[in-house]
Amino acid sequence: MQNALNWQAENGVIMLSGDLDRETLLPFWKVRQQVISADITTIDVSGLSRVDSAGLAVLVHLLDEGEVRKQPLKLVGMTEKLQMLASLYNLQQIIQPYLVSTSTMV
């Protein structure tokens, strides 16, 4: 069963929840530049229940867009499954500099 992708921005953090996959990402993709505005510094993926390769590609693209805007984003809440997916695509070195542990966010 498919969980819709939801997002909420608060205190400089965009929190993603639900499924981030090829079936659910289009609405977010269309508004990403408005959602990931200048005040957003962190993407929290801890609420994602499922991420496929298309979802992982979107996350990497968002991190890259932050670099292009000279506003690097941090990534928090990567699950073991998401880390394994990044590893399968050999993206650990690309994602690693953006990772922040949840305990340092408090």
pLDDT score for 96 = 94
CA dist 61 and 100 (Å) reads 18
pLDDT score for 103 = 53
Q: Does residue 1 carry a pLDDT above 60? A: no
Domain presence at residue 19: yes
CA dist 12 and 105 (Å) reads 11
Q: Tell me the two tokens of residue 79.
A: 């699950």
Domain presence at residue 11: yes
Domain presence at residue 1: no
Q: Does residue 78 carry a pLDDT above 60? A: yes
Give the strands of the sheet with 6-10, arranged side by side.
Answer: 6-10, 13-20, 42-51, 74-76, 99-100
Task: Provide the residue range defining the domain that includes 50.
Answer: 6-105
Q: What are 5-55's pLDDT values in tens digits?
A: 999 999 999 999 999 999 999 999 999 988 888 789 999 999 999 999 999
CA dist 64 and 97 (Å) reads 12
Task: Give the CATH number of the domain where residue 55 resides.
Answer: 3.30.750.24
Q: What is the mean pLDDT of residues 77-105?
A: 88
pLDDT score for 106 = 46
Where helices occur in 14-97 by DSSP H, the ranges are 26-35, 53-68, 80-88, 92-95
- Prediction pTM value: 0.89
Domain presence at residue 12: yes
Q: What is the mean pLDDT of residues 54-73?
A: 94
Domains of the chain: total: 1
